[in-house]
Amino acid sequence: MEDEDLKPTLENLVENDKLQWVFVGGKGGVGKTTSSCSLATVLAGMPKEGRQRKVLLISTDPAHNLSDAFNQKFGRTPTKVEGVAGLEAMEIDPQGVKELTQNILDKFGGGANDDGMAGALSTIKDAFMSLPGIDEVSVLVHIMNEVKRLNYDVTVFDTAPTGHTLRLLALPHTINETIDKLSSVSGIGGLLTQAGSLVSSSTGLTSDEIKDATKGFAQTLKQVQVQFQDNKLTTFIPVCIPEFLPVYETERLVQELCKYKIDVQNIIVNQVIQTVPGEAPHPLLESRKRIQSKYMEQIHDLYEDFHVTKMPLLTNEVRGVPMLKTYGKYLMEQYDVASTGYI
């Protein structure tokens, strides 16, 4: 008899009223967007404390697909999803976020009172814009500000492929660790004070304003790290298909998430072939089922302590709210082709 505490569904997540951040990710082409969009529709349909739950769905993948999944155009600001009460969606535009950061830095250096100082500040600004991970930092800060401003209950991330996502999630930890190390260096305080005085005289900002801005940025990243490492508030759902490369990449992803203390309880396995009992066997389907069964055994061995949700290979593509809701239904209850038929 199957352990009731490890149902092969996402029910454990959806019923968690404290959950605030859900990341859905994995190798490209395994159905991350379908899974995240369907989960978002399910979450929006579950009341919280007797009221409509407010859900934000965000794509951080430069190759955005939310608009295609819902047949509705989304941009860099939250937009209500037609046909799903309580759900809003946005697609983070990396170029737009970069422009926002550029504009802030332009204002910051706009008060330079001589050509030499203006040139120095321009060099500092260019160096800042070329820092590895600055786009991801800008995305995180932008998202945190939007979520605070609009008071969402849950934010679901449709993430970029694995490598980009791991860098995004690791950044708060990495930057905070760097700040702590710098703070412990002997004499760094005096150096920062001198740098602050230089910037203050060049921009017209007071030293206190510069310190407050820097402190606010550091506090935001600390808050991100604390929330992402709280398993009551944050979880990551790896998505794969039963083939070698996706299963291998999922295991690497899970290990990295554990390294950064990010909770993983659920795995979604898409495109699982099921056939109706009694149907004449098809050579191609039977061959693929044998291949899949080998990797499904590996998945169950690797993730025996996880909720593993098997989603079927569908007869139609998942586009539009009705199909996303249908797909979401089987994230919440185990699909059985014998009783349900093909979908």
CB-side neighbour CA atoms (13 Å) of 84: 31
State yes or no: is 61 an active-site residue. Answer: yes
Tokens at 328, concatenated: 């979401």
> 296, 269 in Cβ contact below 8 A?
yes
For helices 134-150 and 162-183, angle between their N-to-C axes, nearest 10 degrees: 90
Pairing of strands 154-158, 21-25: parallel
Give the residue among 335, 338, 343 at the shortest CA–CA distance from 7.
335
Among residues 17, 61, 114, 115, the one annotated as catalytic is 61
Hey, how many other C-beta atoms are within 10 angstroms of the C-beta on 317? 10
- Helix (H) / strand (E) containing 140: helix 134-150
> 214, 108 in Cβ contact below 8 A?
no
Residues 194, 200, 201: CA angle, nearest 5 degrees: 95
Q: What are the catalytic residues?
A: 61
